[in-house]
Chain A
Amino acid sequence: MSVVVVLMAASAVVALTFLYLFIRSVKEGQFDDMWSPSRRMLIDDDDPAGKPDVKKEGKPTHEHD
């Protein structure tokens, strides 16, 4: 009996963690664009020089708030 309750609590923690991560990723805009990422990964990066490091500030998101 008690072992079931412990298991349930453990699984609830795991599940709620995932729910929290999901909500956070939605808020950060991961689900805003479902089209371009799938194309982007097919395009090889042929630029060995790399990007200039202006990007260190930004999250790749579209926050308009």
Chain B
Amino acid sequence: MVFLPEAGAEVNAPAACVHCGLDCPPNPPRLEDHVFCCHGCRAVYQLLSDHGMERFYDLDANPGVRPPDTPGVYAALDQPEVRNRIVDFSNGSITRVTFRIPAMHCAACVWLLEHLYRLVPGVGRSEVNFPRKEVTILIEEESLALSTLAEKLAGLGYPPELKLDRLSGLADGSAHRRLVLQIGVAGFAFGNVMMLSFPSYLGLDPVREADFQALFGWVSLLLSIPVLLFSARDFFRGAWNGLRQRYLTIDFPLALGIGALFAQSVADIVRGAGEGYLDSFTGLVFLLLCGRWFQRRTFDALSFDRDYRSYFPLSVTRRRDGADEAVALTDLAPGDRVVIRHGEIVPADAILLRGDAHLDYSFVTGESDLTPAVSGDRVFAGGRQIGGALEVELVKDVSQSYLTSLWNSETFRKPREQDLQNLTDRAGRWFTAAIVVIAAGTALYWWKVDPSMIPRTFAAVLIVACPCALALAAPFTFSAAQRRLGQAGLFLRGPNVVESLAKADTLVFDKTGTLTRGTSAGATFEGAPLPPEEASAVAALASHSSHPVSRAVASALFRDPSGTLPAVTGFAESSGSGIRGVVEGRNIALGSASWLGLKVPDGHGTWLCIDDVPRGRFLIGHDERPGLRPLLQRLRSAGARLALLSGDRPDAEASFRSLFGPEADLRFEQSPHDKLDYIKARQAEGRRVLMLGDGLNDAGALRQSDAGIAVSDDVTLFSPACDAILAGDAVPRLPDLLRFTRAAKRVLVAAFVLSLTYNVTGVSFAASGYLSPLVSAILMPLSSFSVIAFTTLATTWMARRAGVGS
């Protein structure tokens, strides 16, 4: 019998939370006829409706932000030195403070934050600066402490980001203001100079009105001087900085054109030979600056999108009431206790509570010497623990942008990653040189034909041919692609990685953690059952490592999350082979048979030795990642060469052979060094290698490969060796993602062709004298915009076609 669900179907589909729009769980929290995804959202709704602020929900659909489960601890804000750094102004009773709130995203957020005074007693006025994601709040500090205010904001779903160094934001703001001022000054001069040029536009008699002409010329010159010295300053400065490094920048032809127009005009006016071209000069600067302003706004809008959504989903292990849980970095707050295992990164500045810390700060400082720390010492964000697990208490907020910047640090850039940038730069340099030569040729031609045309054509050629569009095409295309890939679960280190992914023709997979999911399969122990105290000792050792097998062993032996594990001393991990340490006076070692030096007929599995006596082995189930077969099938039919590198014994070779096909390289019992050598050998054959691994045992191989992707399931090891992080559930979509990167590259080539066509056409018109410098100045930014619009739209379209992103 066919049963069609009718009314019941509605109940099954998860409803969207009225507050934040996320899917509601079964039996969601309710208030009247509204459903919520969590009690936090319900509480915010309740609070708003109690204060008669339901309007919030009319301004946008599901406008809220899910409040964090635990509002952060902001007590530090009340300490005078911290307070002084974030307070803008205080006269004893009224205090003005500016918070950065990354969570605000729509008009309703603005409304809510600006009506804070109705929710929080003691708040006066609050005003939002949306592009900078800042809210400035006036409070009466007698009745409202800063920490309480911050907690209230966090409770509403707008946790303030406490960046004590506002220097970066400050610089941004003043640069923006200076640009607006430069535009204003140039526009002012442009308007007035044009007015003074009216007589010559209208063709007044130059002989009878000669006095006027001279007067107007001098006044125009006076008006133009601030434009030259203030508004056009950045063009000259850019060109000069480039020249000092023996390098022709994009600013060079612009500066040359502007300079030529001004010099010619001054000469004309001084000689009394006319009014020069100051109207063109001021207009040119004005329009070029407007173009720059638009460009910056577009870029801000795009990069905001990237900052806000595309943070990679790093997570860490938080210990609360003795139980460990994986939480996203963004949910961490100062005061949380976090477990840092071998190879993991300290997410934020913290105090060491337990464990022997040997921290590798090379991501921060470039120095790889280990820094020891003992209990009570302060450890800093970005340090990587080498050795046993640590327990630390965070004292600062986690800054994802800081961690991202570590990922992007120069130290870890691959030398060849610069290829694309170099190519654009080199092409740009040749292009600029060619423009200058063409402009000079044009001037030479007009010198013979009609010398009065020289300044106009010379400037017009220089301006219209500016390779801005060329220079913008690559960053815009790849940033757009990076955003799309981020939405689909592949987080790139930087836009240039798109290029490396597109070029890859050989795909090398690591097994454990990449093709299989070690933790979910569970571990079974073969051998005499371990007494409980030994089991917890082994679990304690295993919990110090974040290798999938160790985690499987730890979770198999340690089923009572509320219990405590004994301490481990002398922990050592040999990448890909095993771990050892001393627990309660007993030497425990866990690893492969060959590493332990065991002579057993069947060395398969992970062996356990206690005080050098072999006790048995753990067998980890092969839990294949779902969708693996179609994934490999599609990659093969797309022509990629596949390989599998595994540290394990070749027990499962047959099943992997059927998955990978007859022509693939399957290598087992590979040490991290073997993996590295394999990648090098393929690269020596001229292949572009894409490596997928867990980022721990194969860090060397990931770094060596042309594009290294770390696959992450729950706990992510932040390994700067990789170029990208792929969410575990997005692995089956890898062929689509790779296809999309190739499409993005085609978009880039098309954009190059488009902007070249623009320049060639523009230059030929300008050289023949049909284009005034003013029209060039309008066309130049227009061409940049059409190229940006093209790349953004084409990338979106390609993403949709490849099924990537939303």
Interface of A toward B, CB cutoff 8 Å: 1, 4-5, 8, 11-12, 15, 18-19, 22-23, 26-27, 29, 31-36, 39-40, 42-43, 46-47, 51-55, 57-58, 60, 62-64
A63 to B789: give the CA distance in the assembly, Å.
Answer: 35
B292 part of interface (Cβ distance < 8 Å): no
Q: Which residues on B sit within 8 Å (CB–CB) of A34?
A: 131
Which residues of chain A come closer than 8 Å to B181, judged between CB atoms? 23, 26
With CB as the reference atom, state the residue of chain B lying closest to A63: B88
Q: Which residues of A contact B91 (CB under 8 A)?
A: 57
Q: Which residues of the partner chain A approach B107 to less than 8 Å between Cβ atoms? A: 36, 39, 42-43
Is the C-beta of B11 less than 8 angstroms from some C-beta in chain A?
no
In the complex, chain A residues whose CB is within 8 Å of the CB of B800? none
Using a CB-CB cutoff of 8 Å, which residues 86-108 of chain B contact chain A? Answer: 88-89, 91, 94, 96, 98, 107
Q: Are B125 and A51 in contact (CB under 8 A)?
A: yes
Q: Are the CB atoms of B177 and A32 closer together than 8 Å?
A: yes
Residues of B within 8 A of A26 (CB): 177, 180-181, 184
Interface string of B41-84 (1 = CB under 8 A from A): 00000000000000100010000000000000000000000000
Q: With A and B bound together, what is the CA distance between A11 and B195 in angstroms?
A: 11
Nearest CB in chain B to that of A53: its residue: B124
A32 to B89, CA, bound (A): 19
Q: B94, A54: Cβ atoms under 8 Å?
A: yes
B138 near A62 (CB under 8 angstroms)? no
B132 at the interface (CB under 8 A from A): yes
B59 touches A43 (CB 8 A): yes
Question: Are A36 and B130 closer than 8 Å at their CB atoms?
Answer: yes
Q: Is the CB of B219 within 8 A of A35?
A: no
> Does residue B117 face the partner (Cβ distance < 8 Å to A)?
yes
Residue count of chain B within 8 Å CB distance of chain A: 47
What are 29 A-B pairs at a CB distance below 8 A? A11-B192, A15-B188, A22-B188, A23-B184, A26-B177, A31-B180, A32-B131, A33-B130, A33-B132, A35-B131, A36-B129, A39-B110, A40-B110, A40-B111, A40-B114, A42-B107, A43-B107, A46-B55, A47-B115, A47-B118, A52-B117, A52-B124, A54-B140, A55-B124, A55-B125, A58-B89, A58-B138, A63-B88, A64-B169
B299 to chain A, nearest CB (A): 15
- Our pick among B89, B138, B219 for the contact of A55 (Cβ within 8 Å) is B138
Report if B148 contacts A (CB, 8 A): no
Residues of B near A11 (CB, < 8 A) are 192, 195
Q: Which residues of A contact B212 (CB under 8 A)?
A: 4
Contact A62 B134 (CB under 8 A): yes
Q: Give the residues from 211 to 233 in chain B that come closer than 8 angstroms, CB to CB, to chain A.
A: 211-212, 215, 219
Nearest to A54 among chain B residues (CB) is B124
User: A46 → chain B, closest Cβ, in Å?
Assistant: 6
Shortest CB–CB separation between residue A37 and chain B, in angstroms? 9
Find the A residue at minimum CB distance from B176: A32
CA A31 to CA B136, docked complex, whole Å: 16
Instruction: List CB contacts (< 8 Å) of B255-313 with chain A.
Output: none
Q: What's the least CB distance linking B524 to chain A, in Å?
A: 59
The distance in angstroms between the C-alpha atoms of A25 and B617, with both chains bound, is: 75
Let me know if B184 and A22 touch, CB within 8 A: yes
Q: How far is the CB of A3 from chain B (nearest CB, A)?
A: 12
Q: Counting chain A CB atoms within 10 Å of each CB, which of B91, B118, B127, B212 scores highest?
A: B127
Cβ of B173 within 8 Å of any chain A Cβ, yes or no, is yes
